[in-house]
Amino acid sequence: MLRKLVTTQVHSTTDIRDFFDDCAHAYSEQHGHPERLFNYRIALIRQYAKPCNADVVMDVGCGNGHHLLALAGEIGRGIGVDLSPAMIEVARARLRNSPWQGKLVFLSGNAEQLSALAERSIDLAMCVGALEHMLNKSDVLVSVYRMIKPRGRFFCLTINGGYVWYRVLAPLLGLETKHLSTDKFLKRDELVRMLTESGFRRIRVGYWTFIPKGDMSRVLGFICHGLDLIGRILRINSLRGGLWICAWKEE
């Protein structure tokens, strides 16, 4: 039996905030083994974003704070920002039970503005699995660029808009692919263009294994896993579900 993803209709940033407020306390990994997938994302951040102990790191769309909490021992200071006040409540509760209270802070705010932060104060800004849900992506990237120090960088893990599951397989099967009606999955060239228009330079792009197993049957998950393996071996990017990108501010 196919799993049916039902898209939630939203019309504004307020609707998106309310959606994540509602799921904040029950939020969990949906696409596979939680610890294994989490460790994989952290490994990608370490490999490509290269956080270090002198860095002030901002996590945009930080959710319940899990990525910053995992990296806290390796960075100088961390700031998590999320649109959802309920997600921030969860992140702050987790912080109180951690040894990192002096290094991390979590703030509720809109990534399109980031008005609570000082400009040119961030060494590394990252956005992990959140950009696809943000309504005005160009405004977010401009805002992030403004916050980053000269020679700082932005790292993003997001969904590959050119992935065969979203472009071909799901439409053929009549399956929904969006959790929110406003979700937009960017292709590589679209994201590079947006970053360039925001001012970023030295843009590096690659692909990672993302299979939305929570949105499909086990059989389809197995098929997509096989396609991903072929994509890795033969470098067929349309068979890879995830897109990573690292871009620098050079001014």
Residue 97 has pLDDT above 90, yes or no: yes
Q: Mean pLDDT across the stretch 100-115? A: 94
Nearest to 62 by CA among 11, 36, 37, 27: 27
> Confidence band (pLDDT; 50, 70, 90) for 32?
confident
For range 153-170, the mean pLDDT: 97
Among candidate residues 106, 126, 127, 132, the one with its CA nearest the CA of residue 117: 106
Q: DSSP states of 190-218 as a string?
A: HHHHHHHHHT-EEEEEEEE----GGGS-H
What local confidence, expressed as pLDDT, does residue 1 receive?
47
Mean of pLDDT values over 65-89: 97
pLDDT-derived band at 186, boundaries 50, 70, 90: very high
Q: What domain count does the chain have?
A: 1
143, 61 in Cβ contact below 8 A? no
What is the rounded CA–CA span in Å between residue 57 and residue 123? 6
* Residues 6+ positions from 91 with CB-CB distance below 8 Å: 62, 63, 64, 65, 68, 69, 80, 82, 106
Buried b (16+ CB within 10 A) or exposed e, 207-219: bbbbbbbebbeee
Is residue 127 a part of any domain in this protein? yes
Q: What is the pLDDT of residue 209?
A: 97
Query: Can you tell me the distance from the alpha carbon of 105 to that of 6, in angstroms, rounded to the nearest whole number?
Result: 34
Residue 54 has pLDDT above 80, yes or no: yes
Distance, CA of 161 to CA of 152 (rounded, Å): 26
Structural domain contains residue 5: no
Average pLDDT, the chain: 95
CA distances from 189 to 141, 186, 245 (A): 15, 8, 11
- Predicted confidence band of residue 27 (pLDDT cuts 50, 70, 90): confident
Distance CA 146, CA 144 (A): 5
- pLDDT recorded at residue 33: 84
- 68 within a domain of the structure (yes/no): yes
CATH of the domain at 100: 3.40.50.150
**Residue 117: DSSP 8-state:** S
What does the pLDDT average to over 21-42? 90
**Residue 38 within a domain:** yes
Q: Please tell me the predicted confidence (pLDDT) of residue 3.
A: 59
Q: In which domain, by residue range, is 158 found?
A: 13-248
Q: What are phi and psi of 201, to 5 degrees?
A: -135, 180
Q: Given this model, what pLDDT does residue 85 score?
A: 97
Q: Is 120 part of any domain? A: yes
In a domain, 232, yes or no: yes
